[in-house]
Amino acid sequence: MSEPIFRTQGVTKVYQTGAVKVFALAGVDLELFAGEMTVLLGPSGSGKSTLLNILGGLDHATSGRVWFRNTELTDMPDRGLTRYRRDHVGFVFQFYNLVPSLTARENVQLVTDVSPNPMPAEEALAQVGLADRMDHFPSEMSGGEQQRVAIARAIAKRPEILLCDEPTGALDSTTGVQVLEVLQDINERFGTTTVIITHNAEIQRMAHRVIQFQDGKISNVSTNDERLAPAEIVW
Amino acid sequence: MQALDRKLLRDFKRLWRQALAIAMVLACGVSILLTALGMYTALSDTRATYYERNRFADIFVTVQRAPERLIGELAEIEGVWAVEARTVGDTVLDVPGNARSVTGRILSLPIDGEPRLNVPILKTGRLPAPTSTNEVMVNANFAIANDFILGDHFFANLNGQKRQLTITGTAQSPEFIYTIGPGALMPDNETYGIIWMPQPAVAAAFDMTGAFNDVSLKLTTGALRADVIDAVDRLLDPYGSLGAYGRDLHLSDSFIDAEIKQLRNMASILPPIFFGISAFLVSMVMGRIIALERSQIGLLKAVGYSDLEICLHYLMLAGLIAVVGIGIGWFAGSWLARLLAWQYAQYFDFPFLIFRTSLWVYAASGVAALLTTTLGAAQAAIKAARLAPAIAMQPPAPPQFKRSLIDQTMAAMRLSQPTIMILRSLIRWPVRSALTMLGLALAVSTIVSPSFFDYALDKIVDSAFYESNRQDAMLVMAHDMPQSVLSTAAALPAVLQTEGQQFHPVILRNGIHEKRTSIQASQPGADLSRVINSDGMAVDVPPGGVVLTERLAAHLEVGIGDAVDAEFLGGRQETNTLTVTGTIAQYFGLGAYMDLNYVNGLLRQSPRISLVNVSLDDAELLALHAELKDIPNLVGIVMMTDTRRSFSETIEQSIGVMNLVYIIIGLLITIGVTYNGARIQLSERSRELASLRILGFTRAEVSYILIGETLLLALLAQPLGWWIGAQIAKAMANSFSSDLYNMPVVLHPAIFAKASFFVLLASFSSVMLVRRRLDKQNLVSVMKVRE
C-alpha cells in the first residue's frame, strides 16, 4: 500500500438553515492513497460532495481534522487554501463550469496562468483528445467535449489529486465512457490520485477502492480485485 | 495576455450595450466637469493675465472736475502704486452709413505715450498723434461692426460742435472686455464704441483743460483697498466725486465675474449628479453579473485564484466602463469647451484666450469617473471575492419573498398574477426600486430645471419692456438739464410723448448693510417708465418715500415702513433718510425709485432732468436719428426696440442650445437607467418568463411583466422628478441672479409635461429594445440553463 495522501479524523459538517441543523457529514474517518482511483458512492445528500469540497480546500469542516500529506487543512486560512488548490488540486464538475466567453484553450490557460509547473494548454487538450477543437467556444462543443475541456483544465497543472464530482452526470453513456476513459488514462499515466463521486453504481467497478456513503457517514469500503475498463461498463 | 484578461475583454464586449449606456451617463459628468473647469480656468487665467499685462486698475472713481495738481496727492496715498487721471465723456456719434445714432465713450490718452494703467492693446494702425485734434483710436469690435477701415471718418458732437474724426488705429482694453452702453442691457458694438483721443483734444472738447474727471489707481501688493478708497474719497469729495469703488463694482469685470462664478457652480453641482447615477448603474449591473457568474467565480477560486485577483477582475470590468466614459467625456468635453469658448468670444472681448485645459482638469475628471465606477462596483466585487467557493458552485437560494400586508391588499384588489409579480418584485428589492426611481426622477429634473429660462425670459421681457419701460427710446443727457429740454425733445421729429427722469448715484445704508446703486426719480403719473408692484399695478412713489427692488431690500434687510439712509454721491453729497414705502420684483439691476418733485426739493435744486423717455412714431425714425446727431449735450439714445430684440435674440439662442443639451443629457440618463434595469430584470426573470410562455402566456402578456415594472417606476418617478427639477431651477435662478440680473422662476405646467414626455418615451423605447430579446429567447434552452 502506498502512502496516504489524505487523512480525515472525525470530520463533521453542519449546515444551519434557519432553525434547522443539517448534518451533511457526521464524523468521517478516511484515508486516500497516492495514485489510487477511488469512487465515492451514495444517494443524494449522503455527504459525498461535502467531503470532496473539504478535501479540495473549497470548504471548512465544522469539526474534526483533515490532512493533505503532512499538512493540516483543518484550520488553514483562506489564503493558504487558495495556495493549496492552486498547487495541488484539480477539479472536474458535473456541469463543466467552463467560462463561456473563453475558448477551450483559454479555459485551460485560466489554470496554466496561475500554476507553478503547468503543462502547455495544448498538451492538456491533446491528452483528452481535443487537439483539433482548441479554439472552439463552449457553446460550440458537445457536453462530452466540454467535460473533457474541464478535465484538461484540471490536469493541466499536473495536480497530485483530481477531484471529480459527478463527471458523467450530465452526459449520455457513449460520451460518459469517453470521459471515464480519459480519467483512467490520466490516473494510470500520471499516477494522479483520483476521486470520483457518482450516483452510477456501475462506475465503481473501474475504481481501486469504493467508499459508500449513507447519511453523512461511511457505510462501507470495498476494494476491487478486478477492475473493469470504462468501455466494459454497462450504463 | 492572461486568460482572465481575455475573459474580461470578452465580457465587456458582450455587455457593450449596457456598458455604453452607463458610459454615456458617466461621460456627461466628465464632459461637464471638463467644460466647466476648463472654461473656469480659461476665463480666470485669461482675465488675470490680461489684467496683469495691461495693468488693469484696482480702484476707479469718477469726479465732476478735479484739478491736475491732485494727481500727485493721489499718488502719495499709502498703498497706491500708480495713478492714471484722464478725461472721459460720452457723446452722440454720427457714423456715415449707420442710420441709427451711435454713442461713443471718449477717453483721453496721455500726450507722453500710452497710459500707465488700463493699457489698451493696439490691434491695427497707430495711436493718434499727441497733438492732433481729429485723430482717434477706436475699439476693434466697434470698427468691425461698422465696417471701419483705418483712415475712415465719423462725426462726434464735442462741446456743442460737430467734429470730423479720423480713425488711425483700433485697440482692445482690459476695461472693456464686456462693453455695454449707457442704458443698454446687452453689448451692441454697432451702436456703442470706445474712442481714445489725445488728452489736449479731449480736454478742449469737454472743457477740462488742467483738470480731469476720471481716475484709476493701482495698488501695491498688500495694500488695503478699503483704506485707499477712504483716502481717495476724502481727497476727491470736494470735487464732485461719485465715490471710489473697487474692481468688484466695475461693470465689465462684474459681468466676467458673474460668468466665472456660474462656471464654478456648474462644475460643483452637475457632475456629482451624473457620477452618482453612474455609480448606481454600475453597482446594479455588476451585482447582476456577479449573480450570473457565481459558478464561474466558484470555479476560479477552485482552481486557485485568490480573492484579490477575483475582486480586481470585476473592478477592472467596471474600470473599462469608466475608460469608455472618460474617453467619450474627454472628447465631448473638449468639444463643448471650445463651443463655449467661441460663445464667450462673442460677448467678451479678450485679445487672447488662454485655453489650455490643464492636464490636471483632465486628470481630475478621469480620476473622479474611475472612483465612481470603482465605488459602484466595490460592493459587488467584494461580494464576489468573499463568495465561498463551495457555495458559489451551488445554485443560489431563491430570493426570499414574504407575505405582508401589501400582499393582502393585492389579494383584496384581485390583481392579476403578472401584476402581482411586478409589485412583489418592486417590494422585494426596495432599495433598487427606489434608486431606479431616483435615477429617472433626476432625468426628469434635468429636463425640467433649465426649461424655466424660456418662460422666465418671457416674463422678464413682459415686465421690463411692456409693463415698466414702455418708452420707445431714452435720450441720455451729458449732465442734468433744465426741464425745458422736454419741450425741445417734444419738437423733434417722430416724438409723440416725452417724460423726464432723474438718475442719482447713491449709497443706500441700513446699519452695516450698504449698496451702491442709483435712484430713479419720475413725475407722479409717469406713463412711459413706470414702477409696477407685485399686483401688476403702476404705483407712484409718495413724497419722502422710496420704493426698492425686492433684491435690494433683502440685501439691506429693510421692509416696508423701515428707514434707509441715502447718501447722494453727486451734487452736495448729502445723506438723507427715506422711508421704504414699497418693494417691487424687478429683473434688471438693483433699482430704487423716488418722486421727482420731492427729490428736487430734497436736493434744493431747480427742476431738472437727466434723461428723456419718449414714445415714437416709427414712420419718422430716420428723420429723428438724423436730427439727434446734431443735438448738443445728448450723449446717447437707447432704442428700446433694439434693446428688446437683441436681448431676446441673444438669450433665446443660448437658452435654445442649453435646453437641447439638457434634454440630451436627460435622455441619456433615462436610457442608462431603464435599459440596464430592464436587461437585469430580463436576466433575472428569463426562466420565470419562459415558464409562463410554456404555460401558455402570450408574448404580450409576458412582455407586460417586463415593461410594466420599468414603466411603473418611470411613472412613479415623475412627481419626484418635477419636485427635484423645481428645486434645481430655483437654485439655478439663484446662481444666475446677481446685482445685474434677477432671474424669476416660472414653472409653467408645459415644462413638466415636456420633461415627462421625453423621459417616458425614452423609458418605453429602451425597455422595448430589451423586449426584443425576450421575443428571440429559445424557451427550451432557457429552461435548460442552470441558474
Note whether B3 contacts A91, CB cutoff 8 Å. no
Query: For the segment B745-759, what is each residue's pLDDT rounded down to a tens digit?
Result: 888 999 999 999 999
Please report, for the domain that includes residue A195, its CATH number: 3.40.50.300
> Which of B14, B296, B304 comes nearest A97 by C-beta?
B296
Q: Which residues pair with B211 in a beta bridge?
A: B67
A91 to B10: CB separation less than 8 angstroms, yes or no: no
pLDDT digits (tens, 9 = 90+) for B408-456: 777 677 777 778 778 878 887 888 889 889 889 989 998 998 888 888 8
A88, part of any domain: yes
| Closest-CA distance of chain A to residue B689, Å | 23
Cell numbers of B260, please? 466665472
Residue with the three cell numbers 483559454: A106
Of B392, B434, B451, nearest to B728 by C-alpha is B451
The percentage of residues in chain B with a pLDDT greater than 70, rounded to a whole number, is 96
Query: Between B14, B299, B305, which is nearest A114 by CB?
Result: B305
Structural domain count, chain A: 1
Residue ranges and CATH numbers for the domains of chain B are: 88-207 (no CATH), 429-471+640-787 (no CATH), 495-616 (2.40.40)
Residue A11 lies in a domain: no
Would strands A37-41 and A193-198 be described as parallel, antiparallel, or unpaired?
Answer: parallel
- What's the distance, CA B35 to chain centroid? 14
Tell whether A45 is covered by a domain.
yes
A114 found inside a domain: yes
Distance CA A213, CA A203 (A): 15
**Band (B263; pLDDT cuts 50, 70, 90):** confident
Is A93's Cβ below 8 Å from some Cβ in B? yes
In a 13 Å sphere around the CA of B263, the CA atoms on its Cβ side amount to: 21
Instruction: For residue B429, give how far its alpha carbon lies from the nearest alpha carbon of chain A (Å).
Output: 21
Asked if residue A185 is part of any domain, the answer here is yes
Angle at B733 (CA atoms; ends B729, B736), nearest 5 degrees: 135
User: Domain for residue A178, yes or no?
Assistant: yes
Examine the pLDDT at B785 and tell me if it is beyond 60.
no
| Partners of A30 in the β-ladder | A8
B75-108 burial by CB neighbour count: b if 16+ within 10 A, else e?
eebebbbbbbbbbbbbbbbbbeebebbbbbbbbb
Q: Is A220 an interface residue toward B (CB < 8 Å)? A: no
Residue type, B418: P
ipTM here: 0.70
**Residues from chain B contacting residue A86 (CB–CB below 8 Å):** 303-305
Q: B673 near B278, Cβ under 8 Å?
A: no
Domain of residue A216 covers 35-61+78-232
Q: Most B CBs within 10 Å: which of A20, A54, A58, A107, as the mutation test of the B interface?
A: A58
* Contact yes or no for B304 and A95 at CB 8 A: no
User: Is the predicted pLDDT of residue A222 greater than 90, yes or no?
Assistant: yes
Which residues is B167 bridged to in the sheet? B136
Once rounded to an integer, what is the mean pLDDT over residues B533-537? 78
For residue A144, the 8-state DSSP code is H
Question: Which residues have CB under 8 Å from A18's CB, separation 6+?
Answer: none
Q: pLDDT class for B395, splitting at 50, 70, 90?
A: low
The stretch B68-75 carries a mean pLDDT of 92
Q: Which 3 state secondary structure label does DSSP give B486?
A: helix
Which sign, positive or negative, has the C-alpha torsion A61, A67, A72, A77?
A: negative
Look at A93 and A206; give whichever has higher pLDDT. A206
- Which residues does chain A have within 8 Å of residue B7's beta carbon, measured at their own beta carbons? 99, 101-102, 106, 110
| A117-131, B247-261, B381-395, B588-602: range with lowest mean pLDDT | B381-395
Whether B301 sits inside 8 A of A53 (CB atoms) is no
Task: From residue B15, give the alpha-carbon distance in Å to each of A227, B108, B288, B398, B762.
Answer: 50, 69, 12, 25, 20
**Residue pair B90/B104 in contact by the 8 Å Cβ criterion:** yes
Instruction: Please state, as a whole number, how many other Cβ atoms lie within 10 Å of the Cβ of residue B146.
Output: 21
A27 part of a folded domain: no
pLDDT in tens, A135-192: 888 888 888 888 889 889 888 888 899 999 888 887 788 888 888 988 898 899 889 9
- A7 falls within a domain: no
pLDDT 10s digits, B122-147: 999 999 999 898 999 999 999 999 99
Residue ranges of A 18-77 with Cβ closer than 8 A to chain B? 50, 53, 56, 58-59
Categorize the per-residue pLDDT at B787 as very low, low, confident or very high, splitting at 50, 70 and 90.
Answer: very low
- H-helix segments, B240-306: 251-292, 294-302
DSSP for residue B468 = I
Model confidence pLDDT, tens digit, residues B218-230:
999 988 999 999 9
Strand-strand pairing, B473-482 and B634-639:
antiparallel
| Interchain proximity A110–B7, CB inside 8 Å | yes
User: What's the rounded Cα separation, in Å, for the pair A99 and A140?
Assistant: 13
Mean pLDDT of chain B: 86
Per-residue model confidence as pLDDT tens digits over B20-51:
988 998 998 899 888 888 888 888 888 999 99
Q: What's the confidence (pLDDT) of residue B720?
A: 95
Contact assignment for A83 to B304 by CB distance below 8 Å: yes
Statement: residue B406 has pLDDT above 80: no
- Quote the pLDDT of residue B399: 61
pLDDT in tens, B665-693: 899 889 988 998 888 888 888 777 776 77
B55 falls in which pLDDT band (50, 70, 90)? very high
Are A58 and B307 a contacting pair at CB < 8 A?
no
Cα→Cα distances B590→B255, B582, B598, B742, Å: 15, 14, 21, 9
Contact (Cβ atoms closer than 8 angstroms) between residue B351 and residue B122: no
Is the per-residue pLDDT at B642 higher than 60? yes
Interface of A with B in 98-117 (CB under 8 A): 99, 101-102, 106-107, 109-115
Nearest CA-CA distance, residue B393 and chain A, Å: 9
Q: What is the mean pLDDT of residues B529-552?
A: 85
Q: How confident is the model at residue B355 (pLDDT cuts 50, 70, 90)?
A: confident
pLDDT of B468-505, one tens digit each?
888 888 888 877 888 888 888 888 888 999 999 988 88
Position B403 scores a pLDDT of 61
AA identity, residue B447 = I
A118 DSSP 8-state letter: P
Across the interface, do B305 and A95 touch by the CB < 8 Å criterion? no
Please give the Cα distance from B556 to B580 (Å, whole number).
Answer: 11
| pLDDT class of B245 with cuts at 50, 70, 90 | very high
Q: Residue range B553-561: average pLDDT?
A: 90
* Percent of all residues in chain B with a pLDDT value above 90, rounded to a whole number: 34
pLDDT(B779) > 70? no
